Amino acid sequence: MRPEELARHIQLNVTAALNEDLGIAPDTSKSSNSKMGPGADLTAQLVPENLITTASIISRQKAYLCGTQWLDYCFQRLDQNCIINWSAKDGDFIKPNQVLCNIRGNARAMLTAERTALNFLQTLSGTTTLVRSYVNAVTGINVKIMDTRKTLPGLRAAQKYAVRIGGGLNQRSGLFDGILIKENHIKAAGGISKVMALAKRIAPSDLPIQIEVETLAQLKEALDANAKLILLDNFSMMNLRRAVSLTGKRAVLESSGNINLDKVCLVAETGVDRISIGSLTKDVLAVDLSMRFE
């Protein structure tokens, strides 16, 4: 994703999240937090309107950092003069009680932005940390750790960014930039050979076409149909090894389905090219971070 595209997603993410916290309807641009009612942070009214203060973001556990640009935009959208100095960057390993950044700006704006900013930083750091654990588990094995479309609604671009920061790779972004033929597509189209022919007919030459198979017999059908990217869904270890042997490098093989940290190395050792894991972006445990005024 190009930097300008990522910047647009960050702006959309942060705007929606702040509006949600401030009770602003999606079809308005009202963003004042200086009076009561929608658009106001009621608790922030307890702080002098023009007070300038400093704060720090502190880590409470070991993790890998991600989401600094989202945090920056949260604070700077509410206070354009806010200054943020980072002592760590996306992808860095962080330790308990480490100061990640210092912030100076309007106290009311900082309090209003705090929870939204931390939500992004904690969630994306959690995604990156989880991905890194899988990547580390297969160190030395020629295999790629991939994400899926099982992302938190509205945060796909953000989480896919976090996957990349953690050392993983992205599958298609959505339904528009790749074809993934699954069981129901195969049934509705009349079989593997028919659906592959249809896919090749409608897809531009540079668009990836992947087909999911559930048995070795289906794998053979896909190979006979000249499939070049095949997803092996819930194959046993024995059948993964058989699939690799049967394929003989004629196609890229991807293993998926109920793969966790305990078995990812075993799956990698079967010789598959890729491993896709939905839990990377679906079952995320937020990293413990906090903001403290100084």
Is 212 annotated as catalytic? yes
Q: Could you tell me the CA-to-CA distances from 292 to 54, 59, 93, 114, 264 in Å, in that order?
A: 9, 11, 21, 10, 39
Is 183 annotated as catalytic? no
Phi, psi at residue 195, to the nearest 5°?
A: -70, -35
Is 21 annotated as catalytic? no
User: Which of the following is catalytic: 149, 182, 220, 282?
Assistant: 182
Is 115 annotated as catalytic? yes
Strand ranges (DSSP E) for the chain? 52-59, 63-64, 83-86, 93-94, 99-106, 144-146, 179-181, 209-213, 229-233, 252-256, 274-276, 289-293
Q: Are 55 and 149 a contacting pair, CB within 8 Å?
A: no
d(CA 34, CA 43): 11
User: Which of the following is catalytic: 72, 79, 212, 221?
Assistant: 212
d(CA 274, CA 277): 10
User: Which of the following is catalytic: 92, 214, 233, 269?
Assistant: 233
The full DSSP string for 64-130 is: E---HHHHHHHHHHH-TT-EEEESS-TT-EE-TT-EEEEEEEEHHHHHHHHHHHHHHHHHHHHHHHH
Is 177 annotated as catalytic? no
User: Which of the following is catalytic: 60, 104, 115, 282?
Assistant: 115
User: Which of the following is catalytic: 60, 104, 149, 150?
Assistant: 150
Annotated active-site positions, please? 115, 150, 182, 212, 233
